Amino acid sequence: MSGFEWSTAADQRFTVNLSILFTELPLLERPAAAAAAGFTAVELWWPWVDAPTPEPSELGALKKAIEDAGVRLTGLNLYAGQLPGPDRGALSIPGEESERFRANVDVAARFAASLGCTALNALYGNRVDGADPAEQDGLALENLVLAARAADRIGAILLVEALNKPESPRYPLVSAPAAVAIVDKVNRASGLGNARFLMDLYHLSMNGEDLPQVISAYADRTGHVQIADSPGRGAPGTGTLPLGELLDQLHKAGYAGWVGLEYKPGDRPSDESFAWLPREARAAR
Active site residues: 161, 262
Question: Helix (H, G, I), strand (E, B), or coil: what is residue 174?
Answer: coil
Q: How many helices (H) and strands (E) does the chain have?
A: 8, 8
